[in-house]
Structure 1
Amino acid sequence: MLTQEQNKALTQVGSGTPMGELLRRYWHPIAASTEVEKIGTTKKVKLLGEELVLFRDKSNNLGLVGDKCAHRGVSLEYGFPTECGIRCQYHGWLYDRLGQCTDQPNEPETSNFKNKIKIAGYEVREVGGLVFAYMGPAPAPELPKWDLFVKDNVIRTIGFAEIPCNWLQIMENSLDPTHLEWLHGHYFEHVFEQQGRPQDEWKITKHHLKIGFDEFDWGIIKRRVLEGQTEENEDWAIGHPIVFPTMLRVGDSGAHSFQIRVPMDDETTLHFWYTCFVPKEGVKVPENYPISLYECPITDENGKYVVDYIDGQDMMAWITQGRIADRTTERLGTSDKGIIMFRRMLQRELKKMENGEDPKCVIRDPEINNNIELPQEENKFSEGGLLSGVAKDWNTRYAPNLDEIIDICKGGKVLSNL
């Protein structure tokens, strides 16, 4: 268990807090590119406790500034982008893409008042259909080009949900292999029984014989051996990585995925499911095939958690621990060694940052950043690829074009174009 002070140090994300300062050393996705692809678009976002407005100006550049105009506190969500920034709709004060005021129409032309006015403003960049923000000290590190962001000949989908809980309990779930056999195994069977579906539709209710964790350059590799398997199985021999500090990589031959956890504030996390569907050999994905964006539901029309798909089960477990899990009352066992390892890594990297060093996964060398390949299982659980039909028990079931994606990847005819 942790003390209350230790729990706060690992969960608070605001400016000036230990974890808030550590997380500001990294790029975080804040929107899908399609949400701000139109010139003149604005979108209100929240990141690391700060209310911000993302916009695309008339020069087709993205900017990210504080939500409130410095003049009278009006929200810039309703401001209008110009050639080189965003203008407040109330009195016309103009801010550049990093928050510097550059024009005050009703002040004297000779006034230098505008030069003294600056609101928060941060760097934003795009890769792989996502918009990323950096809120840390200059100079900004490289925006990591993880392999899925730059992979050729795949179909991408982006799912999202705003999760009402702290980012850390979501990440700790990824360091907890044994919940697979219970939450996504025995519990899935229970859910299917309640729905009147055959319980053997989902076949990963297997006991864990062995779990393991190894640190590598980009985080931690999680490994498992299930009943009936050996260490030659890819889930042990290759494993799948937790990329420090906020990302999980998972998938198999049919679909490779990132789960990215973005701390909005201490009690809310924006969660992205970024999936690349891989066509069978010889199948060419149509050029400029659109990246679909969809929201993953947490609850149904009755306010009950949606638990008949894997990611819904995870969200239920994350949220029911409370907005911020109370780690002063937990009782960790030997199966929780991955969680303990991750917490120690966070504490170690906090100390590195406090000593003026770059923490783990902060990339400065562009050569290293060309295409960062991560380990990937190709036959997860020995159950076949996600395109076998299992895709509909994951978040991707909510992708509006899932059937078309599967048809394309299997070599079928393109049915439509989003």
Structure 2
Amino acid sequence: MVLSAENNNRLTSVGPGTEMGELLRRYWHPIAAESEIGERATKKVRLLGEDLVLFRNRKGGLGLIEERCPHRKVSLVYGIPEDDGIRCQYHGWCFRNDGQCTEQPNEPENSTFKNRVKITYYEVQAVGGLVFAYMGPKPAPELPKFDLFVEDNVIRTIGYQVIPCNWLQIMENSMDPTHLEWLHGRYFQHIFEKDGRPASDWPISKHHVKIGFDEFEYGIIKRRILEGQTEECEDWRIGHPVVFPTMLRVGDGGAHTFQIRVPVDDTHTLHFWYTCFVPKEGVEIPKDYPISLYECPLKDENGEFITDYIDGQDMMAWVTQGEIADRTTEKLGTSDKGIIMYRKMLMNEMKRVQEGEDPKCVIRDYEKAQFISLPQEENKYDEGELLTGVAKDWNTRYAPNIDEIIDICKGRKKVEEIKN
């Protein structure tokens, strides 16, 4: 499915009024870690080509509004949170969380001007340490609470990076199983050798014998069999869910991760790595255990891509395709059938939106949205290998408390000992 320039533009343009932008506005997108929005805090947000301000008012409520005050167009990033909204720092105009102007201090007391001024606002909700926004038509669908966001007795970490490329090439990477053996296998062996690390037993460098893709209720399941494996292996029997439209689920029994791709605009993507660490049996994690937030570096101090960890290798591959990959000249093979399947799904769901229907994975049943369990491998590697590996070869090595997390999950230390 080599794309024409027109269709490449249709699939990659996310601003207001574009076909893909209208599709993506039917979903809830994470825009920040909740820890970033403390008491009376503000944060500049750019989502789907729109500049916005996320804030918490004095009563604790979250709001998301357009960035510019309609009066003189200054940025409300520097606004003053009030009891039920935010006040412009320039002339004191006040706006509720729903965008309605409620006060204009220097206008006549009997003026009704404020009643006619309302700025754009969007709905926000917090779950699992993330703040989600919905920018589509009302009524908003339910915020789907996928299992990792609401599971008990886990330790959570949130990694992030703003990737300077279009969201689609990141998602298409998730529909490309065979890059595992090369980018994260053979190339990683090359990195190991340069660093003097043993590389001969690196398991993911094995050749792909078979790949498969199946549509399911929430997206696509991708499957693989490596040399020496059978269809009984979990990578085939269970597989990896790609949750439509912008999320990948990966992991093992010791650590489960959502990779969430949030389209900032046509040439930037906010990427979250949301990981839940599962402790060994008998270890209890308090509900108030802090969720660490950390940046996953893209380049080193010399401006070179950091490729000695798996997620850094992915980022290098995404970015070096260009800000927006040119799909008009690509040469797809049989191993790219997952990418073709995903593109067709995007095209179909854009059409459904144009016809006035809800697209795939939009949920309006409240009870159904409260806990959505997804397939997950549990024994891909043994626990020791995985929990040791995340501290070296995955993005979670940058979590400030990763050593503590591993000690707690393995039962070597109690949470109370670390807190004290």
Equivalence for 1:10: 11
Of 406-415 and 324-333, more deviation after overlay is shown by: 406-415
Q: Which consecutive unaligned segments of at least 5 residues does structure 2 have?
A: none
Q: Counterparts of 1:368 and 1:345 in 2: how far apart (Å)?
A: 23
Equivalence for 1:252: 252
Deviation of the 1:383 alpha carbon: 8.8
- Show the 5 A alignment for 1:66-81: 66-81=66-81
Residue 326 (1) aligns with residue 326 (2):
yes
CA displacement, residues 205-242 of structure 1 (integer Å, 9 cap, x when unaligned): 10000000000000000000000100000000000100
Residue 171 (1) aligns with residue 171 (2):
yes
State the SS of the aligned residue for 2:340: helix
Q: Tell whether the 8 Å contact from 2:253 to 2:383 is kept in structure 1 after alignment.
A: no
Equivalence for 2:33: 32
Deviation of the 1:368 alpha carbon: 1.1
Q: Counterparts of 1:292 and 1:155 in 2: how far apart (Å)?
A: 9
Q: Counterparts of 2:116 and 2:5 in 1: how far apart (Å)?
A: 41
- Show the 5 A alignment for 1:17-416: 17-36=18-37, 38-200=38-200, 202-380=202-380, 386-413=386-413, 414=415, 415-416=417-418
Letter in 2 for 1:12: S
State the SS of the aligned residue for 1:280: coil
Q: Counterparts of 1:202 and 1:64 in 2: how far apart (Å)?
A: 46
Of 69-78 and 376-385, more deviation after overlay is shown by: 376-385
Q: Counterparts of 1:5 and 1:233 in 2: how far apart (Å)?
A: 41
- Aligned in 2, Cα 1:172/1:383: closer, same or farther, shift over 3 Å? farther
Q: Counterparts of 2:86 and 2:365 in 1: how far apart (Å)?
A: 33
CA displacement, residues 306-325 of structure 1 (integer Å, 9 cap, x when unaligned): 00000000000000000000
Letter in 1 for 2:104: Q
Deviation of the 1:201 alpha carbon: 6.2
Q: Tell whether the 8 Å contact from 1:84 to 1:96 is kept in structure 2 after alignment.
A: yes
Deviation of the 1:385 alpha carbon: 5.2
What TM-score, normalized to structure 2? 0.97
Deviation of the 1:416 alpha carbon: 2.7
Q: Counterparts of 1:384 and 1:366 in 2: how far apart (Å)?
A: 39
Aligned length: 417
Letter in 1 for 2:36: E
Q: Percent identity?
A: 72
State the SS of the aligned residue for 1:249: strand
Q: Counterparts of 1:389 and 1:134 in 2: how far apart (Å)?
A: 36
State the SS of the aligned residue for 1:368: helix
Of 177-186 and 370-379, more deviation after overlay is shown by: 370-379
Q: Tell whether the 8 Å contact from 1:86 to 1:96 is kept in structure 2 after alignment.
A: yes
Q: Tell whether the 8 Å contact from 1:204 to 1:381 is kept in structure 2 after alignment.
A: no
What TM-score, normalized to structure 1? 0.98
What RMSD, in angstroms, separates the aligned Cα atoms of the two structures? 1.3
Letter in 2 for 1:407: D
Letter in 2 for 1:416: I
